[in-house]
Amino acid sequence: MAAVAGLVLRLVWLQGVQGETLTNRARAQQRVTVKPFAPRRSIVDRRGVALALDRVTYTLYAHPKLFNKPKSVVAALVASILQEPVTEVAQKLERGRSGIRLHESLTEDQAQRIRRTALDGLELHERPGRVYPQDEMAAEVVGYVNLFDGQGKTGLEYSMGRLLARSVSPVTLERAPGGYALPRLGSLENDRLNQLTYLDDLQLKLTLDLRLQRAARAAVQAQMTASRAKKGAAIVLDVQTGAIRALVCEPNYNPNRYSEADVARFRNWVVSDLYEPGSTFKPLVMAMGLDSRVLSLDDTFDDNGSVQVGDRIIRNFNFARLGKLNLSKVIQTSSNVATVRIGLRLDPGVFYQYLQRLGFNQASGVDLPFETPGQIKDRQTFLASKIDRATTSFGQGVAITPLQLVRAIAALANGGKLVTPHIVDSLSTVEGQPYWQPAHPEPMPVFSAATTREVLKMMETVVSQGTGKRAQIPGYRIAGKTGTSQKQDERGGYRRGAVIASFVSIFPVENPRYVVMTIFDEPPGGSGGVVAAPAAKPILESIITLDGLPPQ
């Protein structure tokens, strides 16, 4: 009787006290919650040309122990399909007897051609992947997605990851007797699963114009070959809106094959690397002098080739003695001597405020990742040090990125306003209708429109008569400034013979729309006028064609 009583009590305990707990535990074992896969949103240029999209891709593996043909035959066939050197494929086939990964991200066409070879020992693994139809053409902007974790690592794939990833709610499924997961019919979760047959058609639309990007890359590559520069870059910025129309860094990489690239090429150096802008900075100092009224348009300077500041002597490039200069000639001849005198006329506090208002002590706010903020001297040091103010006047002692300089030069083109550079236009439908657009700060006034008009005239003489002549295009008015800045060494000094050659241009002068910058790192014996200015010319010619600008 005692045993029966114990069983009864146990039954009561299980049914009455623990019943709900056990039921919940059983239900949990019968269900599984999953987050369905949703393709990443595409990235397109301003005209809707695809730059990045999700597509089924294939990884090709080789198992030489199963080959029914000689390795040399297999290597030749595979190399022709992958468009790789036969020697590279042959070397890979010597790595082992099985499980050799030959190539990632094969296209559907390549996979079909591999299948048609009917070779034993070749294996294709199918998976969803990220594809970049333009290869390296916009890699420094778009970046790449890691094949294994599906996360963006560089470029917009990284900084815009939350916009590119579609949001899909988790779905609860029932386990069938065989262990298979099935939807719970009639449930909210099943309704969500059904909704996955529709995915929004939104895509990330950029301000980039692939046609101009292609022209800029060709120009940079050609000049790098001609000048033997280590690196080269080009930027095209809309001066009214801050929209980036082209941004090129060379050498570059192919995001479809990022694992084969030198990791140094992932760095978008026009956004992340600081340099001293040198003479391209001088038009900004001229604008400061005119705007603060320490200069008048009829001022002149006597340039005898050098100026002493404290115990330092500052000289012109090549020790040139330039004689009597009006303001336009100061810019045209790139006089260090006269520009230093302008900088020293400025009230130190006013000078420092201009540097701050031009954004040289901060990041530009561009929507590309890993931007390095500009660097200027701290206020106390700058105000107290005459030599720091003197060297800053001709672009030394201030460290900024090429994009930060382009942003400041744009203020000379648009009537004096500092815009926010950006490359994301919107999240739009495939028809181009905006669903979401980023909010940018209101352009901040820095100079008066009257000041910028005068400086623009001075910069025009650089192209028509000065060091920017190699950027001339008959029938078109172009303003510009060349720069040949020294490179610093690890100890804070300057490396002998190591320069950065650059050219900033504003186009067209009569109705400024764009700033175009070309910049080259360590071209042996090169200068801004010889190396960077001619590289800008084909980019400007492309703008003329694309915008349909008639000659004057």
pLDDT band at residue 1 using 50, 70 and 90 as cut-offs: low
Place 170 in a pLDDT band, splitting at 50, 70 and 90: low
| DSSP β-bridge partners for residue 326 | 300
Concerning whether 279 is annotated as a catalytic residue, the answer is: yes
Q: What percent of the chain has pLDDT over 70?
A: 87
The β-bridge relationship of strands 424-428 and 417-418 is: unpaired
Nearest to 356 by CA among 371, 335, 378: 378
Cα(404)–Cα(273) distance, integer angstroms: 11
- The predicted pLDDT at position 28 comes to 60
| Active-site residue identified among 42, 227, 279, 505 | 279
Output the DSSP codes for 285-317: HHHHHHHTTS--TT-EEEE-SEEEETTEEEE-G
Element spanning 301, H or E: strand 300-303
Report yes or no: 253 and 289 within 8 Å, Cβ to Cβ.
no
Backbone φ and ψ for 474, nearest 5 degrees, come out as: -55, 130
Is 180's pLDDT higher than 60? no
pLDDT band at residue 423 under the 50/70/90 scheme: very high
Cα 466 from Cα 480, distance rounded (Å):
10
What pLDDT score does 34 carry?
A: 56
The answer, as to whether pTM is greater than 0.75, is yes
Q: What is the pLDDT of residues 193-251, one digit of tens each?
A: 454 445 678 999 999 999 999 999 999 999 999 999 999 999 999 999 999 999 999 99
Q: What confidence tier does 5 reach under pLDDT thresholds 50, 70, 90? A: low
Residue type, 201: D
Pairing of strands 43-44, 203-206: parallel
Q: What does the alpha-carbon distance between residue 484 and residue 468 come to, in Å, rounded to a whole number?
A: 12
**Does residue 508 have a cis bond before it (omega within 30 degrees)?**
yes
Residue 540 three-state SS = helix
- The dihedrals phi and psi of 521, each to the nearest 5 degrees, come to -95, 120
Domains of the chain: 210-547 (3.40.710.10)
Q: Looking up tokens 């042996």, which residue turns up?
A: 524
Looking at residue 513, its amino acid is: R
459/287 Cα distance (integer angstroms): 11
Query: Residue range 171-199: average pLDDT?
Result: 54
pLDDT digits (tens, 9 = 90+) for 260-283: 899 999 999 999 999 999 999 999
Structure tokens at 442: 């209101």
Query: Can you tell me the mean pLDDT for 286-305?
Result: 97
Rounded to an integer, the average pLDDT of 433-437 is 94
Instruction: Tell me which of 27-36, 136-145, 542-551 is least confident.
Output: 27-36
Report the alpha-carbon distance of residue 468 to residue 503 in Å, rounded: 8
Residue 177's pLDDT is: 59
Q: Tell me what the pLDDT averaged over the chain comes to.
A: 90
* Core vs surface per residue 133-150: b (16+ CB within 10 A) or e: ebebbbbbbbbbbeeeee
Measure Cα distances from 319 to 388, 488, 526 in Å.
Answer: 21, 21, 17
Nearest to 516 by CA among 462, 478, 474: 478
Q: What are phi and psi of 510, to 5 degrees?
A: -70, -25
Residue 57, pLDDT score = 83
Contact 130, 145 (CB under 8 A): yes
Region at 538 (left for phi over 0; alpha for psi -120 to 50; beta for the rest) = alpha
Contact 423, 368 (CB under 8 A): yes
Helix, coil or strand: residue 270: helix
Q: Is the peptide bond before 251 cis (omega within 30 degrees of 0)?
A: yes
Q: Which residues contact 210 (CB under 8 A, 6 or more apart)?
A: 45, 47, 49, 51, 134, 137, 138
